[in-house]
């Protein structure tokens, strides 16, 4: 689709988007294009009703609210581009509002569960790698795409921080605790050479094929470990835990925002709901007048 190719180029060149973000836009809009094709309508001819019908179709398939929000963002970006390029005179997505993104408080494990997770990685040829990845994920609150994209040169062991490239190619520096750094050092010196088998790679976390660890592979690894200790896990759950436990320990919201790489502090405020919910439960359980 020529329109989509032009739009993706615009996002890449003008907006500096890349990687998973760019891929999400392309996947969403290709799916929308197939939906419109069955109606014999092009994106340039689509109406607000067409977009709403497509969202209803996705909702009927069980898509999460957060995914629907992403689709709406894709539509708004596409039609903004079409207006700029004079491909349309109106924006059919203009009146569509984002649904409430968080229908429920995000799930965060307690600190005891996180300790069980960090201690639950045992055995296997890549045990040091898996321990280092999970420890770093919890230590720094990285997105999974940021975690698997880390290169050896991105870590400053002496200063105790890591440089990551987040959404929109934005660079940030995130602190790493000594425990995580030690696990990374152990993995790099004792296990990584054996995984690579004399091959070379600039990536920190590698697989037996010599390439970088993928998001999907790490997700599967985390799921297996979670099943072993009886906890339902995803990389984003660990990121939730990072933010929630920081706030529970007294960290200020702005600092947590910077470490998570959120451009809008309202996104970070989600985690204050988590801590408030937990405090309320403790109050109701233990206060004599609750």
Catalytic residue check, 239: yes
Correct CATH for 111-285 of 1.10.3720.10, 1.25.40.20, 1.10.443.10, 3.40.30.10: 1.10.443.10
| 167 labelled catalytic | yes
206 pLDDT band, cuts 50/70/90, is very high
Q: How far apart are CA 53 and CA 72, in angstroms?
A: 12
- Which CATH number is correct for 2-84, 2.60.40.10, 1.10.150.130, 1.10.3720.10, 2.40.50.140? 1.10.150.130
Query: Is residue 88 among the annotated active site residues?
Result: no
- pLDDT averaged over the chain? 86
Query: What's the whole-number mean pLDDT along residues 206-223?
Result: 89
Catalytic residue among 79, 138, 187, 271: 271
Whether 81 is a known active-site residue: answer no
**pLDDT confidence of 117, banded at 50, 70, 90?**
confident
Catalytic annotation, pick one of 167, 215, 217, 273: 167
Write out pLDDT tens, residues 25-83: 889 999 999 999 999 999 889 999 899 999 989 988 888 888 888 899 899 999 999 99
Chain center to CA of 240? 10
For residue 109, pLDDT beyond 60: yes
pLDDT-derived band at 101, boundaries 50, 70, 90: low
Three-class SS state of 156: strand
Residue 104 has pLDDT above 70, yes or no: no
The catalytic residue among 131, 183, 239, 245 is: 239
% of the chain exceeding 70 in pLDDT: 94
CA distance 19 to 16: 10
Does the pLDDT at position 266 exceed 60? yes
**Confidence band, pLDDT 50/70/90 cuts, at residue 236:** confident
Give me the catalytic one of 76, 151, 236, 273.
236
Q: CA-to-CA distance for 273 and 239, rounded, in angstroms?
A: 15
Q: What is the pTM of this model?
A: 0.64
Q: How confident is the model over 117-144, as a mean pLDDT?
A: 89
Is pLDDT of 15 > 90?
Answer: no
Which residues does 67 contact at the CB level (< 8 Å), separation at least 6?
58
Quick check: is 192 catalytic? no
Angle between helices 2-13 and 65-84 (to 10 degrees): 90
| Percent of the chain residues topping a pLDDT of 90 | 34
Kind and range of the H or E run holding 196: helix 192-196
pLDDT score of 135: 93
Domains 2-84 and 111-285 share a fold: no
pLDDT of residue 285: 78
Q: Does residue 236 carry a catalytic annotation? A: yes
How confident is the model at residue 6, as a pLDDT? Answer: 84
What is the mean pLDDT of the segment spanning 241-252? 88
Tell me, what's the pLDDT at 157?
Answer: 92
Q: Please state the domain extents for the chain.
A: 2-84, 111-285
Q: Are strands 155-156 and 171-175 parallel, antiparallel or unpaired?
A: unpaired
């Amino acid at each position: 689709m020529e329109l989509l190719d032009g739009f993706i180029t615009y996002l890449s060149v003008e907006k500096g988007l890349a990687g998973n973000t760019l891929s999400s836009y392309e996947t969403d809009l290709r799916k929308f294009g197939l939906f419109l094709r069955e109606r014999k309508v092009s994106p340039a001819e689509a109406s607000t009703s067409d977009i709403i019908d497509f969202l209803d179709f996705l909702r009927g398939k069980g898509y999460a609210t957060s995914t629907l929000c992403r689709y709406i963002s894709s539509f708004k970006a596409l039609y903004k581009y079409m207006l700029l390029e004079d491909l349309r005179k109106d924006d059919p997505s203009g009146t569509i509002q984002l649904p409430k993104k968080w229908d429920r408080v995000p799930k965060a494990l307690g600190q005891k569960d996180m300790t069980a997770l960090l201690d639950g990685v045992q055995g296997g040829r890549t045990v040091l790698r898996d321990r280092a990845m999970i420890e770093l994920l919890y230590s720094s609150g990285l997105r999974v795409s940021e975690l698997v994209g880390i290169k050896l040169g991105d870590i400053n062991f002496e200063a105790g921080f890591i440089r990551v490239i987040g959404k929109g190619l934005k660079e940030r520096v995130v602190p790493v605790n000594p425990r995580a750094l030690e696990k990374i050092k152990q993995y790099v010196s004792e296990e990584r050479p054996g995984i690579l088998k004399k091959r070379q790679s600039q990536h920190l976390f590698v697989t037996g094929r010599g390439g970088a660890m993928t998001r999907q592979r790490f997700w599967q690894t985390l799921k297996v470990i979670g099943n072993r200790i009886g906890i339902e896990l995803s990389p984003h759950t660990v990121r939730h835990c990072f933010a929630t436990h920081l706030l529970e320990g007294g960290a200020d919201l702005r600092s947590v925002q910077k470490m998570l790489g959120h451009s809008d502090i309202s996104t970070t405020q989600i985690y204050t709901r988590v801590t408030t919910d937990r405090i309320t439960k403790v109050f109701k359980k233990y206060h004599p007048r609750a």
